[in-house]
Every structure is written in structure tokens, then in C-alpha cells.
Homo-oligomer: A and B are copies of this chain.
């Protein structure tokens, strides 16, 4: 679903020197984070430094994925972009699963879904709306994705509902088996969504049918992508170590950390792109990034992590907390209401942000 969004990011076609300099400067955070880890820096400092260091890498992964995709043509390239679109989140989540922080991973899934449709979309609509009185986007693409989110909500609700309505006395294997079945159904929905948006109904999602020339050679793109992925993987290990320590020694709230903090780190690249596109009145792409990113998390990353967790040996089911489910349900409801008419304004953005604020307050108090 994430088809060629980055191509319209400012400077992506003709990336100016200043942007590269900023990027290089930011990438300087990577050795700093590693150094702090060697020096056994205080946990919160380590956490902050590692989180910051991941951000530019996520951006570089996005650009290189996109460049590689251009070499592969719209179909395969679109598939690549869609699958790697949330690679940062997935890498962090795998590190957390290996450390046994299952609740944290579930919470970061919730947080990514909510964050994309409330925080990113809200910031985009607010920012864009401050400059443009009324912005419009392709209605059908947005409502298809909000329907997909209703579908995903149905899937994510069921395991917890089984736990809830059977008074918790259900064997944990039943919940695992059920989660696996639902994960399979979600992946099928995801496959269908890719076929629909990249093949049979491409015109809805990419109305101008623009193709773009790659700027990077195939080899260069692969090398940059591989390098960035390795660095993100290393930093994720450090990040999770810091998180683990913080939870233990500082008594931080695992749910809040996952839903709000980790989710923001994992999605920061999408944030900046979507907001900048909205500011330039390219609302179609801005809405596309936010909504497709959250459907990818719900339909691809979540089931993928269920399978991965079993291989890793720390089984994660799809049994979320009631709180998370209600938060997802309400977010989907408010986004459906906002996206429904294919138009946005600053106040719709503000409403999304306030719902995000309400959810954040709720998770903060749910220690």
C-alpha cells in the first residue's frame, strides 16, 4: 500500500546538499549511542540517545527501500515498499520479543496503529489546514483503509474477548491457536489489500500513474538498505536493554512506554514525511502514509510478530488489554468519521490530536 510515497518528500528527486548534511549530522548519533552503552550510561540517557539515533536510520531505510523499489517496477516495488514500510518497528519488536518483553511489543503495536491514524494524520491535517482552508484527498482509498482497520480491530478483539467471557480459565494454548488462525486471516486480508492497491485497482491509489526514474543504482540501494538495517538492529538491542532496565529499576509503565514512546520512535520517519506533504497540500499522499502505515502494522506486522514470537520461543498472542482494544476501536471510529468525506481542515486534525491526547492520558494512568 505504501507506494512511492517518499518520492515526493522534499528533495527526494533532487535532494539538496543541505539535507544530506543534516542527515550525516544526525547519523553521528549512532556512534554516540553505542559509546554510551559501552560506558554504562544512566538508563534514561541511553534510552533517549538510542531512540534519537534510530530516527535518521529509519529515514535512510525508507529512501533506500524506495530507490530499490524503482528498479523492480510498480508491482514488486510496491510490494517491497509495503513490506519494508514498517521495518524499523518490526526490528525493534523482535529485539523486545527476544528479551521477553511481550507486553511491550503488544503495546507498541497498539501504539503504532493509534499513533499513525491519530498523531500522524492529526498533525498532518492540522498543519496542512493552517495553510489551506480545505484539503481534499481520494475518498475511496481512505475509506478502504479505514474499513481494513475495522476488519483488523475485529481480529485483534477476539482473543481477549475469549479470555474475558470465559473468566480467564482457558488454556493458554487455545489463545495461541486462535491467535494463529486470526493471524493467518489478517495476512490474507493484507495480501488482498496489496493485490487490490498495487494491481487490480491501482488507479484509486496512484491516480496519476506516475513512475519515477531511480536516482540510486540497484547495488548502492541494496548496500545502504542492508547497512541501515544492521545498524537499526544493533541499536534496537541497546534500546530494549535500556527499556528493560528502566522498567525494572525505575518502575516505568510498560504499557505507556510501548503505546506512546516506542511507537513514536518507530514511526518518526512517517511523521515528518506526512506532515511535510500536508503542508505542501499533497494531502492524498499524506493521508496515504498515515493510513497505510497503520493498516500495515495491523495486518502485516502484528501477525508477522505472532509467528516470529513462536520461532523465538517467547510466544506473543493477539490477546490485548481491554484498554488497548477500546482505544483502537475509538481511534478507528474517529478516523472513519474524519476520512469519510475525502476532505480535511485544521479542526479535523485538532480533533484527531485531542483523541490521541485522551488515549495517552488514559495509558499514562493505567500503570
A-side interface residues toward B, CB under 8 Å? 133, 139-140, 143-144, 146-148, 150-151, 153-155, 157-158, 161-162, 164-166, 174, 177-178, 181-182, 185-186, 188-189, 192-193, 195-196, 200-201, 321-323, 326, 330, 333-334, 336-338, 340-341, 343, 345-348, 350-351, 354-355, 357-359, 361-362, 365-366
User: Chain B nearest CB: distance from A130 CB in Å?
Assistant: 10
Instruction: Say whether A323 contacts B161, CB under 8 Å.
Output: yes
Distance from A1 Cβ to chain B, minimum over Cβ atoms (Å):
12
Interface of A, secondary structure class, is helix
| Cross-chain contact of A181 among B174, B192, B361 (Cβ < 8 A) | B361
The answer to whether A365 and B162 touch (CB under 8 A), given A155-B358, A330-B153, A354-B189, is: yes
Whether the pair A350, B189 counts as a contact (CB closer than 8 A) is: yes
Note all chain B residues with C-beta closer than 8 A to A337: 143, 146-147, 150, 336
Closest to A338 in B: B147
Task: Give the distance in Å from the alpha carbon of A177 to the alpha carbon of B186 in the complex.
Answer: 38
Which residues on B sit within 8 Å (CB–CB) of A133? 200-201
Asked if B165 contacts A366 (CB within 8 A), the reply is: yes
CA distance A362 to B358 in the complex (A): 28
Q: What are 10 contact pairs spanning A and B, CB under 8 A?
A: A143-B341, A148-B351, A157-B326, A158-B361, A162-B366, A164-B322, A165-B322, A165-B323, A165-B366, A174-B365
Closest Cβ–Cβ distance, residue A353 to chain B (whole Å): 9
Nearest Cβ distance between residue A174 and chain B, in whole angstroms? 6
Cβ A322 vs Cβ B201 within 8 A = no
List 17 additional contacts besides A162-B323, A185-B354; criterion CB under 8 Å: A147-B338, A148-B351, A150-B334, A154-B330, A154-B355, A154-B358, A154-B359, A165-B321, A165-B322, A174-B365, A178-B365, A182-B358, A185-B361, A189-B354, A192-B351, A196-B346, A196-B347
Checking B146, B150, B158, B188 against A362 with a beta-carbon cut-off of 8 angstroms, the contacting residue is B158
Q: B192–A350 contact, CB under 8 A?
A: yes
Complex contact A166–B366 (CB within 8 A): yes
B341 to A151, Cβ gap below 8 A? no
> A220 to chain B: closest CB distance in Å?
36
- Given the complex of chains A and B, what is the CA–CA distance between A334 and B333 in angstroms? 11
